[in-house]
């Protein structure tokens, strides 16, 4: 044991001096290992620091109070609660009935003699410099000592009068307002003076307005009610300070629970009662929904995978550096051998190199990580949106992370260590490059892994449809390819015979020095394989999405529809769009209304109704018909019948969804905007007929389209619950059915204004469709957004841009990442090769190689490594990508046929397998080319010339 | 043995390393002509300037003053590229070490200057094979340097130094790393190449190897102090009327 | 001594007559040491006297043939087995000359050394040329192999001997330069100074003072 220790100490000393002597290489490896360590340790510290202690959390939720009482929302029936004050449940079991609903009187639950602070919150819309903003309003006397810790004053002061407010810093930033300006609340004739800015430590991104109790929400509610609009949704909780040292005890909590009030108590949070005393946990209906254990396992597994892959990648990148180090100090190792060191000692010297650099990287990485976190704390807090507690360093976790660095260093040095120890002492001393026989076991293991992995993946994608099998098999096969790399690199050497001089030299050199080439190639391979696999999958599914994309309008068209309000803002909206966007044609749209004026869409207010299309019985899809008992007709059909019906027009036709009914009020200009070229439809509109794009809507016998004018939505809902037809007058309108080939997008039918009047219906403006000359630019759209903000109306603005791939950024990032890894790995291999090739370059110069050969050689050395890596990686990546897609295809085909059997209908699934040519081209051509050029550029062409000293 | 034009001419060649206090005169006013078919050995102790002479003659270094004419062209004024081209086409180098490129086979190593000169790989290989064959090294063509002995490597290096139309071989201690017998065979090969018309300059401090030369130049402190001239006949042994004489005449040129 | 044993060695191959022995001897040693027939016969008669050879008839042309006796064979064996005696070195003119030149007035000893070196190297060149021819002959496979090999060995002996001489001259020169430099740098030389090791020193550490010469 002691001897072992001393042996290691000598090894570490030698390794330390070696590392110091070749500073460049050591620094490179150190940086590679330390970088992820910096990231992980910074993440660890950030995570731990942002995780608040229970006491810190309590400070933020209840300030200096002992407890916060709030309504459990069960209408005041007795409840059980968990000590955290969040999980609750009524005492009584409501097996089949719904839970009671309603408000409890929270104030009643406050124990006698306690001091109370009301904390009421609601929402409001306020005017800003740019338009309007939805904000949270909090009525709380923030200056009360009990509120201390919940809010932090940044600037100015908290409100003292009823017409004063304080706002969050975030709100000031977003609204463009500042302290001293006046805040206007929409739908209310009052303004408030902004006296100061504050922040919520737990939510820095909150847009909040603080007012004195009763100063804002109550008058706003009154104003809203007067205008028939929904209220602010006030919700009041009570901060409670009880006399006595025990705080708000668990007993008092249970007391409050009997009144349907839940309590977050500091005492219960800090010293939770034993589980046996918590009645909630004893309740038979209680299910612990905390499934975080499972989620954690999955997250840990994926985290471990990522860290594992990163370590593998780093080992592959750093390995060659150690190999070259070992090669450099071969004579020294030989001397150790000649002086009685055995293989174990030589191994330990090279391993100690990994240990030394790993340990240095561990120290540097963790220290920098922690320092970075501390230095960047304000930025991190902003980014995460909450203030941290005290910096929380967990020595054990940090040590674990540091250990990871040491482990990485050691792992990277293992293969070179074994290789170095295998060399005979004589070969080491004479510097004779012995015959390089590559390891025979590794390729066999690799081949077995490839075959086994491929078989599993094949089984997975052909016989079953288990993703996990495909993914697992592919991963195994890929690891196998990595193990096979040295052998494959050897195969590449075969082609060198027919290459011109520089590439031949580079390739031969790479093949002969597999010790440094193979790990670099493997590193490239792993990165590229992952990228190509994801790219294949991504491009294929994007093709699928593109095929499945349904445009809402003709390409380039703009829809600007009001989603709320009675349509007053429609003309202003239309003007804004016409002003800001390159609009060509505009078609104003209206919606059919029933009931009193001023009703919003989907409003359930009294006296507000809606229009619905009555589909004639013969046009209904038989699959959906239900009999009196509520049984579906399709239950009695055979799969064949269902399949047949699945293709029937009554079942396949798509109804429009615009407005409430799919019908809009419009004229011939709408046809133009929708690019519908049908003179008959135009004619029909002129004649006051409805144009239908949905065949089942029109009764073919009468040629009419019927709508039901439902006067009150509430009544209609009751009727529906009773399975009755909703009340309302049915009006039949003369209609023209457009051919099936016409694409009408969202519009189910167009009702001309004349028909509306004729049938005695009412209408309200809905907005407009616009066609454009050119796709609106981002700048134009920003301008419009600003104008719409100023308008203050709720607008659904949609610009039809056709299909845009959403995740192309991910793909690009992956490609760039793989490219960087490739260039990095190839660069490292090249640097090492160059260091090795100094003698050869001298010879070349003496033989009369032009100066540029030095450059081109290093370029080719880099390119060769990159090319081998990307070629192997692309092959290794395409297979799992294609395999996954094939599995998906099988799966969706299975689903489709099952669905057809059950009478569902859908388009036949389209699961294409698309080769990501762009990514492949970038990786196969651009990246090696770029790597080669880069290497050539950074290589000095001068310097190889042997200026031998006179001797 | 006068010849119309020397392959290599050194005229008043001087080279000073460093300046001021550290100034060292490596060469001072060297005059030397090397004719086709002639092998000249440069002898001298360490520091006498023999290696400097060779590097300057090959264009790897530039003289402080004086001229170097290779096949009549002054190379001291040539640029880097022109010098490289010169080394590909006119001058062959053989060093004690750093000779063959380990990643290339013997044939490829020999073809190297030709390929660098833009000759197609196939033609280069043909020429290289011919050169190797001519020197009795044909069986080594597809071996890599580390599969050959030191002597074989050095002989391949000589083949490389002479492939193409090059007629000037500059050899810097080519036998330094070899044992006596192997060194001998390398020198023998160099001798043969010179007999076949090449001009050679051999730098060595071993008299036994220098003795293979037609002319031995003694260098001291950067200057030529003396030289042997090749005797017209076998001065020591010829004319003694032995049975040996006939054989001697048979090889007389 | 060596002619005596040389003739014995030739006779061991079979009976020979006088002039035949002479020509064979010369072809073995490349005429390096020429013999005349008289010398051969004198030696033969001495050998006969000592009982090492015996007259054994005549050949077809009437030459008297000599054959080796058993005693002669024994003598030959012990000659091969014994190393050549080196205890009493032969007088060497060159060594005597250099020894005399040290300190001789009006004589530049370096000049003496250089002119000798030129001569020595030139001799080596000649030997080497002959050797190249011998090698050629050996490789081409013509003529008697044994004679060529023997001649080659003799030539190489000469080459190595001259080489030793050349090296010795180099060494002398280096040593003289060192001594001159030492006496120039430190006029009273300490007598107890151990001499620096020869050979390698002259090769590697070349005194700077030497540069001013020539």
What was the pLDDT predicted at C213?
Answer: 38
Q: Determine which of A508-517, A738-747, A800-809, C25-34 has the lowest per-residue pLDDT on average.
A: A800-809
Least Cα distance to A494 among A931, A868, A924 occurs for A868
Given a cut of 50, whether residue A903 has pLDDT beyond it is yes
Given a cut of 90, whether residue A470 has pLDDT beyond it is no
- Cα A467 from Cα A801, distance rounded (Å): 34
The radius of gyration computed from the CA coordinates of chain A, to the nearest angstrom, equals: 37
What was the pLDDT predicted at A761?
Answer: 81
Given a cut of 50, whether residue A737 has pLDDT beyond it is yes
What was the pLDDT predicted at A466?
Answer: 64
Count chain B–chain C contacts defined by CB atoms under 8 A: 109
Domains delineated in chain B: 39-62+82-230 (3.40.50.300)
Cα A1–Cα A323–Cα A829 angle in degrees, nearest 5:
155
Query: Quick one: what percent of chain A has pLDDT higher than 90?
Result: 2
Name every residue whose Cβ is closer than 8 Å to that of residue A457 and which is 6 or more positions away in sequence: A469, A470, A472, A473, A474, A477, A879, A880, A883
A494/A601 same-domain check:
no
Given a cut of 80, whether residue B243 has pLDDT beyond it is no
A208/A288 same-domain check:
no
Given a cut of 50, whether residue C189 has pLDDT beyond it is no
User: What is the mean pLDDT of the segment spanning A913-942?
Assistant: 82
Q: Answer yes or no: do A853 and B88 touch at CB < 8 A.
A: no
Task: Indicate the residue among A245, A266, A287 that finishes a domain.
Answer: A266
Residue A859: HSE in the Cβ half-sphere, 13 Å Cα cutoff: 17
A773/A758 same-domain check:
yes
Q: Closest partner residue to B104 among A505, A842, A848, by Cβ?
A: A505
What was the pLDDT predicted at A490?
Answer: 82
- Give B126-169 pLDDT, tens digit per residue: 888 988 888 788 898 888 887 888 888 888 888 888 787 778 88
Q: Answer yes or no: do C124 and B207 touch at CB < 8 A.
A: yes
Q: Please check whether residue A658 lies inside any domain of the structure.
A: yes
What was the pLDDT predicted at A17?
Answer: 82
Q: Which ipTM was obtained for this model?
A: 0.73
Given a cut of 50, whether residue C13 has pLDDT beyond it is yes
- Give A291-327 pLDDT, tens digit per residue: 445 555 656 665 666 666 677 777 777 777 777 777 7
User: What is the mean pLDDT of the segment spanning A573-595?
Assistant: 86
Q: Please check whether residue A39 lies inside any domain of the structure.
A: yes
Task: Indicate the residue among A766, A799, A832 that finishes a domain.
Answer: A799
Helices (H) and strands (E) in chain B, counts: 8, 10
A116/A140 same-domain check:
yes
User: What is the mean pLDDT of the segment spanning A600-622?
Assistant: 78
User: What is the mean pLDDT of the segment spanning A513-536?
Assistant: 79
User: What is the mean pLDDT of the segment spanning A611-620?
Assistant: 82
**Are residues A451 and A487 in contact, defined by beta-carbon separation less than 8 angstroms?**
no
Residue A350 pLDDT level (bands cut at 50, 70, 90): confident
Q: Answer yes or no: do A500 and B115 touch at CB < 8 A.
A: yes
A241/A156 same-domain check:
yes
Q: Please check whether residue A469 lies inside any domain of the structure.
A: no
**Are residues A406 and A355 in contact, defined by beta-carbon separation less than 8 angstroms?**
yes
A115/A160 same-domain check:
yes
Residue A654 pLDDT level (bands cut at 50, 70, 90): low
Which of B101, B153, B170 is the best mutation test for A, with the most CBs of A within 10 A? B101
Pairing between β-strand A115-127 and β-strand A235-241 as defined by DSSP bridges: antiparallel
Could you list the residue range(s) of the whole structural domain that residue A236 is in? 68-266
Burial of B103 (0-12, 13-18, 19+ CB in 10 A): buried
Given a cut of 80, whether residue C159 has pLDDT beyond it is yes
- Cα A155 from Cα B200, distance rounded (Å): 92
Name the more confident of B188 and C29: B188
- Taking contacts as CB-CB distances below 8 angstroms, the residues of chain C near B220 are 214
- Taking contacts as CB-CB distances below 8 angstroms, the residues of chain B near A846 are 58, 60, 87, 93, 95, 98
User: What is the mean pLDDT of the segment spanning A631-646?
Assistant: 72
What was the pLDDT predicted at A426?
Answer: 60
Q: Determine which of A422-426, A489-493, B46-50 has the lowest per-residue pLDDT on average.
A: A422-426
Q: In terms of CA atoms, which chain C residue is nearest residue B47?
A: C206
Q: Closest partner residue to C124 among B47, B211, B244, by Cβ?
A: B211
A662/A788 same-domain check:
yes
Residue A273 pLDDT level (bands cut at 50, 70, 90): confident
Helices (H) and strands (E) in chain C, counts: 8, 2
User: What is the mean pLDDT of the segment spanning C121-125?
Assistant: 88
Q: Please check whether residue A609 lies inside any domain of the structure.
A: yes
Q: Does B170 touch chain A (CB under 8 A)?
A: no
Given a cut of 80, whether residue A345 has pLDDT beyond it is no
A379/A499 same-domain check:
no
Q: Answer yes or no: do C127 and B236 touch at CB < 8 A.
A: yes
Element (H, E) at A756: helix A753-758
Q: Answer yes or no: do B242 and C31 touch at CB < 8 A.
A: yes
Name the more confident of A624 and C17: C17
- Give A113-123 pLDDT, tens digit per residue: 888 888 888 88
Q: At what angle do helices A808-836 and A292-328 cross, to 10 degrees?
A: 20
- Taking contacts as CB-CB distances below 8 angstroms, the residues of chain A near B91 are 848
Q: Answer yes or no: do B104 and A508 touch at CB < 8 A.
A: yes
Name the more confident of A552 and C156: C156
What are the E-state strand segments in A650-778? 663-665, 690-692, 698-699, 704-710, 729-737, 749-751, 762-772
Least Cα distance to A819 among A670, A715, A920, A940 occurs for A920
- Taking contacts as CB-CB distances below 8 angstroms, the residues of chain B near A947 are 55, 60-61
Residue A947 pLDDT level (bands cut at 50, 70, 90): very low
Q: Please check whether residue A141 lies inside any domain of the structure.
A: yes
- Give A693-723 pLDDT, tens digit per residue: 888 888 888 888 888 888 888 788 777 777 7
Q: Answer yes or no: do C125 and B211 touch at CB < 8 A.
A: yes
Residue A367 pLDDT level (bands cut at 50, 70, 90): very high
Q: Please check whether residue A825 lies inside any domain of the structure.
A: yes
Given a cut of 90, whether residue A363 has pLDDT beyond it is yes
A47/A91 same-domain check:
no
Sign of the Cα torsion B232, B237, B238, B243 reads: negative
A211/A316 same-domain check:
no
**Are residues A744 and A676 in contact, defined by beta-carbon separation less than 8 angstroms?**
yes
CB atoms within 10 A of CB A732: 15
CB atoms within 10 A of CB A226: 10
What was the pLDDT predicted at A279?
Answer: 81
Q: Answer yes or no: do A948 and B117 touch at CB < 8 A.
A: no
A140/A257 same-domain check:
yes
Given a cut of 80, whether residue C101 has pLDDT beyond it is no
Task: Indicate the residue among A799, A816, A842 that finishes a domain.
Answer: A799
Q: In terms of CA atoms, which chain B residue is nearest residue C209?
A: B221
A405/A541 same-domain check:
no
Q: How many domains does chain A have?
A: 4
What was the pLDDT predicted at A55?
Answer: 82
Structure-block tokens of residue B221 = 């402190």
For chain A, give the mean pLDDT: 79
What was the pLDDT predicted at B249?
Answer: 35
Name every residue whose Cβ is closer than 8 Å to that of residue C128 and which is 6 or more positions away in sequence: B208, B211, B212, C159
Residue B252 pLDDT level (bands cut at 50, 70, 90): very low
Q: Answer yes or no: do B46 and A846 touch at CB < 8 A.
A: no
Q: Please check whether residue A870 lies inside any domain of the structure.
A: yes
Query: Quick one: what percent of chain C has pLDDT higher than 90?
Result: 0
Q: Please check whether residue A104 lies inside any domain of the structure.
A: yes
């Amino acid at each position: 044991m002691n001897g072992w220790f001393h042996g290691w100490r000598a090894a570490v000393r030698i390794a330390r001096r070696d590392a110091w002597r070749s500073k460049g290489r050591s620094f490179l490896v150190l940086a590679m290992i330390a970088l992820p360590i910096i990231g992980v340790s910074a993440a660890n510290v950030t995570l731990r620091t942002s995780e608040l202690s229970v006491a810190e959390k309590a400070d933020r939720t209840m300030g200096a109070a002992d407890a916060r009482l709030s309504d459990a929302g069960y209408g005041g029936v007795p409840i059980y609660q968990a000590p955290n004050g969040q999980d609750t449940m009524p005492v009584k079991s409501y097996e089949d009935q719904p839970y009671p609903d309603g408000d409890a009187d929270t104030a009643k639950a406050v124990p006698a003699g306690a001091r109370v602070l009301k904390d009421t919150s609601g929402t409001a819309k306020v005017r800003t410099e740019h338009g309007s903003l939805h904000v949270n309003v909090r009525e709380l006397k923030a200056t009360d000592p009990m509120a201390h810790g919940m809010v932090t004053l940044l600037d100015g002061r908290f409100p003292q009068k009823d017409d004063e407010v304080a706002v969050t810093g975030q709100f000031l930033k977003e609204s463009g307002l500042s302290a001293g300006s006046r805040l206007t609340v929409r739908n209310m004739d009052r303004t408030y003076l902004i006296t100061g800015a504050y922040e919520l430590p737990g939510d820095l991104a909150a847009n909040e307005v603080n007012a004195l109790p009763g100063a804002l929400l109550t008058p706003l509610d009154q104003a809203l009610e007067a205008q028939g609009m929904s209220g602010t949704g006030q919700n009041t909780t009570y901060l409670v300070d009880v006399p006595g040292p025990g705080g708000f005890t668990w007993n008092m909590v249970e007391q409050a629970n009997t009144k349907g009030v839940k309590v977050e108590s500091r005492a219960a949070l800090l010293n939770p009662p034993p589980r046996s005393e918590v009645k909630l946990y004893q309740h038979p209906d209680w299910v612990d929904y905390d499934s975080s254990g499972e989620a954690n396992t999955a997250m840990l597994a994926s985290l471990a995978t990522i860290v594992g892959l990163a370590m593998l990648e780093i080992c592959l990148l750093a390995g060659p550096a150690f190999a070259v180090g070992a090669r450099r100090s071969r004579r020294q190792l030989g001397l150790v051998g000649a002086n009685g060191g055995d293989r174990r000692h030589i191994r330990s010297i090279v391993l100690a190199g990994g240990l030394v650099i790993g340990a240095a990287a561990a120290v540097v990485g963790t220290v920098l990580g922690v320092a970075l976190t501390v230095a960047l704390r304000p930025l991190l807090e902003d980014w995460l949106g909450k203030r941290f507690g005290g910096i929380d360093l967990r020595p054990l976790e940090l040590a674990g992370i540091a250990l990871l660095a040491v482990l990485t260093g050691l792992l990277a040095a293992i293969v070179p260590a074994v290789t170095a120890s295998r060399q005979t002492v004589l070969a080491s001393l004479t510097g004779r490059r012995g015959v390089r026989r590559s390891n025979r076991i590794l390729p066999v293991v690799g081949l077995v892994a490839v075959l086994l992995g491929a078989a599993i993946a094949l089984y997975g994608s052909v016989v079953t449809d288990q993703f996990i099998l495909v993914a697992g098999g592919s991963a195994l096969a890929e690891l196998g390819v990595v193990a096979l790399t040295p052998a494959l690199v050897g195969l590449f050497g075969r082609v060198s015979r027919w290459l011109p001089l520089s590439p031949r030299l580079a390739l031969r050199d790479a093949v002969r020095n597999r010790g440094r080439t193979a790990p670099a190639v493997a590193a490239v391979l792993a990165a590229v394989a992952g990228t190509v696999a994801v790219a294949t999958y991504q491009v294929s599914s994007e093709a699928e999405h593109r095929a499945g994309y349904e445009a809402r309008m003709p390409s380039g068209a703009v829809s600007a529809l009001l989603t709320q309000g009675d349509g007053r803002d429609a003309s202003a909206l239309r003007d804004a769009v016409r002003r800001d966007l390159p609009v060509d044609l505009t078609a104003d749209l209206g919606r059919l209304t029933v009931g009193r004026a001023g009703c919003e869409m989907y409003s359930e207010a009294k006296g507000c109704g809606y229009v619905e299309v009555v589909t004639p019985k013969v046009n209904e899809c038989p699959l959906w018909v239900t009999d009196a008992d509520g049984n579906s007709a399709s239950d009695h059909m055979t799969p064949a019948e269902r399949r047949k019906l699945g293709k029937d027009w009554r079942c396949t036709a798509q109804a429009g969804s615009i407005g409430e009914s799919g019908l809009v009020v419009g004229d011939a200009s709408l046809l133009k905007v929708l690019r519908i070229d049908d003179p008959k439809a135009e004619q029909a509109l002129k004649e006051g007929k409805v144009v239908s794009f949905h065949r089942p809507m029109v009764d073919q016998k009468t040629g009419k389209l019927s709508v039901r004018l439902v006067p009150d939505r509430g009544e209609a809902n009751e009727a529906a619950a009773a399975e009755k037809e909703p009340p309302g007058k049915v009006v039949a309108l003369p209609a023209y059915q457009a051919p099936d080939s016409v694409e009408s997008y969202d519009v189910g039918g167009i009702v001309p204004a004349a028909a509306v009047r004729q049938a005695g219906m009412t209408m309200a403006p809905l907005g407009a469709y616009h066609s454009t000359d050119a796709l609106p630019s981002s700048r134009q759209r920003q301008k419009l957004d600003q104008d719409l903000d100023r308008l203050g109306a709720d607008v659904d603005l949609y610009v039809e841009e056709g299909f845009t791939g959403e995740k192309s950024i991910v793909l690009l990032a992956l490609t760039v990442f793989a490219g960087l890894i490739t260039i990095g790995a190839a660069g490292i291999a090249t640097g090492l090769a160059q260091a090795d090739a100094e003698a050869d370059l001298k010879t070349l110069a003496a033989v009369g190689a032009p100066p540029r050969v030095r450059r081109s050689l290093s370029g080719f050395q880099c390119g060769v490594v990159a090319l081998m890596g990307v070629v192997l990686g692309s092959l290794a990546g395409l297979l799992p990508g294609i395999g996954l897609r094939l599995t998906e295809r099988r799966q969706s085909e299975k689903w489709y046929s099952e669905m057809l059997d059950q009478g569902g209908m859908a388009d036949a699934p389209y699961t294409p397998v698309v080769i990501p040519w762009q990514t492949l081209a970038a990786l196969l051509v651009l990246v090696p080319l770029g790597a080669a050029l880069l290497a050539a550029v950074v290589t000095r062409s001068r310097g190889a010339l042997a200026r031998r000293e006179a001797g | 043995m006068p010849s119309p034009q020397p392959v290599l001419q050194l005229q008043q060649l001087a080279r000073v390393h460093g300046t001021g206090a550290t100034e060292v005169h490596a060469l001072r006013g060297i005059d030397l002509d090397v004719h086709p078919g002639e092998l000249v050995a440069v002898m001298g102790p360490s520091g006498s300037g023999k290696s400097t002479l060779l590097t300057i003659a090959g264009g790897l270094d530039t003289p402080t003053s004086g001229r170097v004419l290779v096949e009549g062209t002054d190379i001291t004024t040539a640029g880097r590229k022109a010098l490289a081209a010169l080394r590909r086409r006119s001058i062959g180098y053989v060093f004690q070490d750093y000779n063959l490129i380990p990643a290339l086979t013997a044939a490829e190593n020999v073809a190297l200057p030709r390929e660098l000169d833009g000759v197609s790989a196939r033609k280069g290989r043909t020429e290289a094979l011919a050169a190797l064959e001519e020197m009795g090294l044909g069986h080594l063509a597809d071996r890599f340097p580390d599969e050959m002995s030191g002597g074989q490597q050095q002989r391949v290096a000589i083949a490389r130094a002479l492939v193409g139309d090059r007629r000037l071989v500059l050899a810097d201690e080519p036998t330094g790393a070899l044992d006596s017998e192997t060194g001998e065979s390398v020198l023998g090969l160099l001798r043969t190449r010179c007999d076949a018309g090449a001009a050679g300059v051999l730098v060595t401090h071993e008299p036994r190897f220098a003795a293979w030369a037609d002319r031995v130049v003694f260098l001291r402190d950067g200057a030529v102090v003396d030289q042997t001239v090749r005797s017209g006949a076998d001065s020591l042994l010829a004319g003694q009327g032995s049975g040996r004489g006939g054989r001697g005449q048979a090889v007389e040129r | 001594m060596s002619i005596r044993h040389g003739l014995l060695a030739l006779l061991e191959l079979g009976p020979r007559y006088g002039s035949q022995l002479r020509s064979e001897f010369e072809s073995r040693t490349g005429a390096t040491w020429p013999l005349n027939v008289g010398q051969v016969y004198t030696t033969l008669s001495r050998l006969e006297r000592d009982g090492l050879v015996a007259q054994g008839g005549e050949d077809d042309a009437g030459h008297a043939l000599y054959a080796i006796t058993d005693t002669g064979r024994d003598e030959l064996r012990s000659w091969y087995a014994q190393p050549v005696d080196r205890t009493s070195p032969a007088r060497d003119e060159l060594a005597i000359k250099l020894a005399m030149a040290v300190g001789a007035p009006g004589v530049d000893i370096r000049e003496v050394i250089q002119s000798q070196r030129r001569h020595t190297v030139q001799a080596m060149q000649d030997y080497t040329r002959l050797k190249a021819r011998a090698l050629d002959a050996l490789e081409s496979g013509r003529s008697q192999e044994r004679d060529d090999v023997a001649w080659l060995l003799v030539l190489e002996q000469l080459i190595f001997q001259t080489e030793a001489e050349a090296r010795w001259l180099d060494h002398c020169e280096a040593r003289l330069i060192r001594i001159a430099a030492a006496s120039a740098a430190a006029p009273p030389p300490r007598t107890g100074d151990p001499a620096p090791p020869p050979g390698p020193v002259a090769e590697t550490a070349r005194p700077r003072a030497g540069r001013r010469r020539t």
